Amino acid sequence: MHTDPTCIFCKIAQQEIPSYRVYEDEAVVAFLDLSQVTKGHTLVIPKHHAKNVYELPEEVAADVFKRVPTIAKAIQRETGAIGMNVLSNAEEVAGQTVYHFHIHLIPRFGHEDGFGAKWITQNDAFTSEELTTLASNIHSQV
């Protein structure tokens, strides 16, 4: 398993830095985010060091994602959250500050609970032809 001795989340995974753990197994650790955007805000990480989604090996992705529903439901039960945002930031423009892949589980308690993602829908920005070409071009690169 690849680890980076300079990486703060590798240090958390290896227990060199303490954390409020909510789950751990041979491949994955989940712990409370120090920022607690909302109560119960949790990070799920692989023990394997990968920078972000672009560099995540498929088998590591499978290990992490398959734990998410169980951890999410435990957070929901404990906090009484009425919803949850599940997200992962990749690169600076998307808000990534720690370059070890992680999934944020952000329990939601209402529209003014401290978390918000701004969505500006652009239903008319692209023609049907442009969307067809776009989908086809992405499809050919998967």
The dihedrals phi and psi of 8, each to the nearest 5 degrees, come to -65, -35
Footprint (CB under 5 A) of Zn ion, residues 45-104:
49, 100
* Binding residues for ligand 5GP restricted to 66-95, rule: CB under 6 A: 89, 95
Q: Which amino acid is at 35?
A: S
Residue closer to ligand 5GP, measured from CB, 27 or 38: 38
Label residue 72 left, alpha or beta by phi (over 0 means left) and psi (-120 to 50 means alpha). alpha
CB of 70 to ligand 5GP, least distance (A): 20
Give the start-end residues of each E strand in the chain: 21-24, 28-32, 42-46, 83-87, 103-108
**Residue 102 annotated as catalytic:** yes
Residue nearest to Zn ion (CB): 7
CA distance 55 to 74: 28
Q: How far is the CB of 122 from ligand 5GP (least distance, A)?
A: 24
The conformation of residue 97, written as its DSSP 8-state character, comes to -
Q: Which does 101 bind (CB under 5 to 8 A by kind): ligand 5GP, Zn ion, none?
A: none
108 lies in the site for Zn ion, by CB under 5 A: no
Residue 7 binds which entry of Zn ion, ligand 5GP, none, with Cβ cut-offs from 5 to 8 Å by kind? Zn ion
Task: Scan residues 93-122 and list those touching ligand 5GP (CB under 6 A).
Answer: 95-98
What is the Cα 103 distance to its own chain's centre? 2
- Scanning residues 7 to 36, which ones bind ligand 5GP (CB under 6 A)? 8, 19, 31-35
DSSP H or E stretch at residue 120: none
> Which active-site residues does the annotation give?
102
